[in-house]
Structure 1
Amino acid sequence: MKNSKLYILIAVFTLSGIGCSEDLLDVENPNTPIVDNFWKTEADAEMGLNAAYNMFYKPSTWTRWIYFRYDLSSDEGHSTSPWGELADWTRFRYFNYNFWDGNNWHWRDFYKAIFRTNQVITYVPEIPFDEGRRDRILAQARFIRALYYFQIALLWEDAPIVLAPSKPDDQPEQRTEAEIWAQVEEDLNWAKDRLPDEWDDANLGRATKGAAKALLARAYAQQKKYPQAQAELEWLVTGDGKQYYGLVDDYRDNFTHNKENNIESVFEIQFSDRNKGNDGDNLSASMGFQRTQFFAPGGIGWQDGKARAWLIDEYKKEKTKDGKNDRRLLNNIFYKQAYKDFPDAANNDTLVYNRPWNNDDWGNETFIKKYSTYYYRDREDYHAPNNFRFIRYADVLLLYAEMLNENGQTADAYEYVNRVRERASTNLPKLEDAYPEIGNDAALFRKRLQMERSLELCFEAVRWMDLKRWNMLSTQSGIDELRTRDVDFDNFVLGKNHRLPIPQIEVDNNIYLDQNTPY
C-alpha cells in the first residue's frame, strides 16, 4: 500500500513537470521594479532622478576618494598614508592601472551615475504629466550627466560616451576629449533654461539655472573658450541671476553644517549624518561626508591627506587692513603655530578638536582643516553632516575675473577679485593697492589670480582643474613651478601624468577602447 502511494506521487510530480509552462517558473517579484513596470508615473520619474542624485553619496565620488584625485594630487596637498598604493596614486606612481580606490571605482561609478541619468532621459519623456515639471526633471538629469562627463574629460580625457541605458554586453566606442566636452556643452545648454532660478526649501540642493550656467562656464574655460565662459557667468555676476547670490560675511560659514545652502552656494551636495549605514544602495545607506575621517590628524582621524606647508607662507605674506593675518589660514589649515599667528581667535579655533598640539605624533605637520567638524565635536567618523559646496559664488567671481582678463578686459577684472578679498572676515586690501606693479598687464594679473584662487578655494576639489586650464600640467615651466611647492611633482612625467590611465580591465574587456598613451 505504501509503495502504491509512492508511485502515484511520483507519477503526479512527473506529469506536473511535463505539463508545466516555463512562464510559471519565471515569476516577477512585485516588490522589485523593472523597466516594463516602472517608468509609468510622475512619482517614478522623481524616484529615478533621485537615484541619479544618490550617486553623490558614494566613496568613489564626493563622499571620499575624489579629493585624493583633485586636492592631494595637486600642489595644495599630499598623502603620507601607510597604505602605500593609495599614497602612490597622489604621487603619480601608477603601477597598477586597476587600483580600485584610485581609478576603477571612479570609472565604474561615474558611468553608473550616467546610466541612471540615461534612464531618466530615455523613459521620462514617455510618461504623461505636466510638461514643465517633466522638463525640470529632464534638465536635472542632463545637468548631472554633464557633471560626470566633466569629471571623465578632466581625469581620463578620451573615453566612451554613452547616451542610452546600457546593457551588460555593450562595448561603447572610445571618443575624444573634445567630443566629451561637446556633450557636456550640449547637456548644459539644454538644461540651463529649463531649470528654475531657485527651488523652495523642500528641494534645496537640486540643480538650478545658476548651477548649470556656472558648470557650463567651467567647461568652456577648460577648453579656452573664454568669451563663451564669460557670457555664461554674466547672468550670475551682472545679470538677472545676481539677485540670488553673494558672499557671506564669515568665510567659515561655507564649510560648516550650521549655515548650509546660504547665499554663496551655487551648487551644494547635501550630506547628512542621519543614516549611519554602509556605502551600498539600500534605504539605510550612509549619506555622510567621509573626507573628514581621512584628512583629520592622527588620533582624531586617519591623516591620509595633508596640506602643503607653502600655503601657510603664502597666507602670511599679506596682512589684513587692520594688520592681522589672513583668517582664511586659520579656517583652512591645522598647524602648530596657529595660536601665535591668531592670538585673538577663540580658543577652540586654535586648538585641534579641543586638544593642544600633539608634538609627539604631529610634529610640524600641516593638516587640512577646511570641512572638518572640529567646531562641535572631538573626533571624526564616516558620517560628517557638512554639505560640500561644489560651486561657490566666490569661485564664480574669481573665474569671471579670469575670463575678463583673458578677453582683454584686465582693468574690469579687479572689481571681482576685490569682492572676494574684501569679504568682511577676510578684510584684505584691494588687489591694485597690494600689487600696483600688475597694472593692466594680463600676464601678471593671470599669475596673481592663480594664487588668489588657491588661497580662497584650496581643498575644494578645483585645483587640478585649474592647473590643467593654466597649462601647468602640460608645460615644463609649469611642472618646474609646481616642483618648488610639491616634491611629488618630481615623479610627474610630462605628456603622461596630466591624465589617468584607463582601468586596464576596461581596456581588456572592450575591443573599442585603447589605453591612454603613453601608459
Structure 2
Amino acid sequence: MNKFKYTIALVVLFMAMSQQSCKKGFLDSYPKNSLSAETFYKTEADFTNAVNGIYDALQADRELSFFPMADIATPFAGFGENRFGQYDNGIFGINAGWTMGQTLWAAWYKVVFRANVVLDRIDADGVTMTAKAHDRLKGEALFLRSLAYFYLTYLYGDVPLILKEQKYEEALVPRNPKAEIVTRLIADLKQAEVLLPSVTEYRNTKPLLGRASRGAAKSLLGKIYVYEKKWPEAEAKLNEVINVDKDYDLEPKFLDLFWPSTENGKESIFEIQYHGGVKEGNSYVRFAAPNTLSQISTAGFGYVTPTESYTDLFETTTGYTVGSTFVSRTASGPAYRFKFNYQSADPAFNQAQPYANRDPRLAWTVWYENTPYIAEFQSRAGQTGVKYLQEYSGDNGHNTVKYIIGKLDLTAGDSPGNMIVIRYADVLLLYAETLIELNRTADAAVYINKVRQRPSVMMPTLQTLQTVRGEAIISDQAKMRKFLREERYRELAFEWGHMYMDQIRWDVFADEMVKYWTANKNGGTNPALGTFDKRHYLWPIPAEERTRNPQLSQNDGYN
C-alpha cells in the first residue's frame, strides 16, 4: 500500500502556511501577503499543490492526531485519577486556556484558511486545467473545509464562519450561529458530492489513494443529518452510500483497518494519511501506547486506558452479557493490580478467564493480561518477547490496541499509521440508528447484523440474541436504540472521538459521568461527581484566541 505523498509548492511558504506548533493560534498561519500568489494559481499543478497543502494541515504533528484521546473523557477510558472529565465540573476543566482546545481550534482553522485560498481562486479567469481536474480539486477543498467546520461547530458551538481568503484583520470577526454553519456545510457537501469522483477511481492509483471522494462527501453529509436529527434526509443520503453507490464494504479482518500495510482498503471512506519518519507520522501512538516496560512501544505514555465498564460491553461469543464488580486495588510498582468479580449467565463463562470466549473485537481494542492478541501483534510487528501485565497501564489495568503498531513507534510523530476519520462500519451504524429513529427497527437490525457478522468477528445476530436472552429486542425501539449505541462503542472506540461525540449528541454524557464516578471509584480517592453541568458539552473558546480577537465571545460556563 502506498499513501499519496503530499508535495507543498513554494507558494505555501509565500502564503505563510508553515506547520504551526500547538501554542500558536489559528490566525498565526493565515496568509498575510498574497502578492506572489496572484501569478501562481494558474495551472492544474498549481492547484494540486495548493490542495496538497490543505491535506498537509490535517497531518501536522501533535495536533489533530490527538483527537482520538477525546474518548478518555467518557466513563469508558481514563488517564489517571485526575483525568479529563473526572469530577472537576467540566469535561476538560473550566479553564479556557486548556491546551487541547487551543490546539484543535488552531489546527482546524488552518485547514479552513488553506481551503479558502483554493476556493477563492480556482474559478478565476486565466486558470487552465481540465474540467475533471477542476471539479475534483474544488470538491476536495469543499470537503476538507466542511470537515474542519464539522468538528469546530460540534465541539465549540458558534464559531467564526470564514469562507473567503481575507486579510489578517478581516478575519477578526465574531462567532456565527451554529445553525448558519450547519446550513453552509450541507450546501457545500451537496456541491462537493457532485464534483468529486467515486473512490473506485482512486483505488490502485497511487497518486490519488487517500484523497477525498464522493463517498466521503456523502458520508459526512449523512452524519450531519444524523447529528441534526434530520432523519428522512439522513436515511436518503446514507442509503445512497450503502445501497445505491455500493463503493464500500467491510474489511474481513478487523485489525487490518489499523495496520499500515492494509490501510486505505475497501472500508476506508476518509483517513488522514501519515508516513513514518521524523515529524511525518502521527503522535497518537506514542501517547496512547503502554509504557516502556511492555515491549510494545519504546516510548508509550499510556494516556488511553479502557475501563472495566468498557470491557463489560463485549458479550460472550454466544451472545450473553457480562458484568463486573470491583473488589480491590493493590499497589504494584508504579501502578496497581485490580481484582474484579465477573458475572455472566453464559454456562461456559469462566470467572478465572473472564475475557476468554468474548466478542473478538475486545482483544483487537483493549490490551489485557494474557490477551491472545499478543501472538498476532508479534507476527504483524515482527517482534518477540511482547507481554502485557495490568501494571503497564498505570490506571485501569488496560491500554488501547488500536493504532499501536510496534517498534516503529519510536518517537512522537514517527508512526506511519493513518488516522481513520470515517469508515464504512460507522456509516452502517449511523444508517441503523436513523432507521431506529424512523421506527423501522427490523430494517435497522439488518445493518447492525452486518457489522457484527464481519468474517473475523461473527458475533450472534440480533435474532439469535433474542433467543439467547429470552427477550424481544428488534421490535422494541428503546431496546434497539440502547443496543445500537453499545454497538457503536464496541466497534468504534478510541479511533476518532466517536464515543465522546456520540454521548454528547445523544445527551447521555452527563448522566453517564455521574453514574460512573461514584466516590472512591475502583479504590481511588475521588469524591462522587454528584452533578454535571451540561453547559460543558461545548468546549471553551480558547483564551489565546479571544486575546487575539476581542470579538469572540465565550461559551457559557467558562471563564
Q: CA deviation at 1:381?
A: 4.9
- Over 3 Å counting, the alpha-carbon distance change for 1:261 and 1:31 in structure 2 is closer
Residue 368 of structure 2 corresponds to residue 365 of structure 1: no
TM-score by length of 1: 0.82
CA contact (8 A) 1:226 1:403 kept: yes
Higher deviation after alignment, 167-176 or 415-424? 167-176
Shift of 1:56: 1.3
Counterpart of 2:351 in structure 1 is none
Q: 1:347 to 1:320 in 2, by over 3 A?
A: farther
How much has 1:74 moved relative to structure 2? 2.5
1:469-480 correspondence to structure 2 within 5 Å: 469-473=505-509, 477=511, 479-480=513-514
Query: Which protein shows a greater Rg?
Result: 1
Picking from 471, 474, 479, the partner of 1:444 is 479
Distance 1:214 1:468 in 2: 20
Contact preservation (8 Å) 1:306, 1:368: yes
Q: CA deviation at 1:452?
A: 0.6
Q: Give the structure 1 partner of residue 308 of structure 2.
A: 309
1:82-481 pair list within 5 angstroms = 92-100=91-99, 102-126=100-124, 127-170=127-170, 171-198=172-199, 199-200=201-202, 201=205, 202-239=207-244, 241-242=245-246, 244-273=247-276, 275-276=277-278, 286-299=279-292, 300=297, 301-319=300-318, 324-339=357-372, 346=376, 348=378, 354-358=385-389, 361-362=392-393, 365-374=397-406, 381-435=412-466, 436-461=471-496, 462-473=498-509, 477=511, 479-481=513-515
Q: What secondary structure sits across from 1:103 in the alignment?
A: helix
Q: 1:395 to 1:354 in 2, by over 3 A?
A: farther
Which residue identity is paired with 2:257? N
Structure 2 segments unaligned to the other structure (5+ residues): 1-9, 16-35, 321-345, 349-356
Hey, what does 1:10 align to over in structure 2? none
State the AA in 2 paired with 1:48. A
- The match for 1:17 is none
- Name the CA shift for 1:295/1:492 in 2 (closer, same or farther; >3 Å): farther
Residue in structure 1 matched with residue 332 of structure 2 by the alignment: none
Q: Percent identity?
A: 30
Is the counterpart of residue 518 in structure 1 residue 511 in structure 2? no
| Cα 1:494–1:236 shift into 2, 3 Å | same
The AA in structure 2 aligned to 1:182 is T
Alpha carbons 1:288, 1:384 under 8 Å: kept: yes
Paired with 1:492 and 1:56, the residues of 2 have a C-alpha distance of: 36
CA RMSD of aligned residues (A): 3.3
Distance apart, 1:313 and its partner CA = 2.0
Asked if the contact 2:280/2:413 (under 8 Å) is kept, the reply is: no
- Aligned 8 A contact 2:75 2:512 in 1: no
Unaligned runs of 5+ in 1: 1-27, 277-285
Change (3 A) 1:36 1:378: closer
Deviation at 1:29, TM superposition (A): 11
- Equivalent position of 1:21 in the other structure: none
Between the aligned partners of 1:141 and 1:81, the Cα distance in structure 2 is 42
* TM-score, normalization by structure 2: 0.77
Does the 8 A contact of 2:366 with 2:400 survive in 1? yes
* Partner residue, 1:40: 42
Q: Kindly indicate which of the two structures has a greater share of residues assigned to helix.
A: 1
Q: Distance in 1 between matches of 2:408 and 2:129?
A: 47
**In structure 2, C-alpha distance between the alignment counterparts of 1:432 and 1:404, rounded to whole Å:** 17
Whichever residue aligns with residue 119 of structure 2, its letter is I
CA distance in 2, matches of 1:49, 1:397: 29
How far, CA to CA, are the matches of 1:384 and 1:85 in structure 2?
Answer: 25
- What is the letter of the counterpart of residue 500 of structure 1? W
- Kept in 1, the 8 Å contact 2:136–2:196? The answer is yes
Deviation at 1:302, TM superposition (A): 1.4
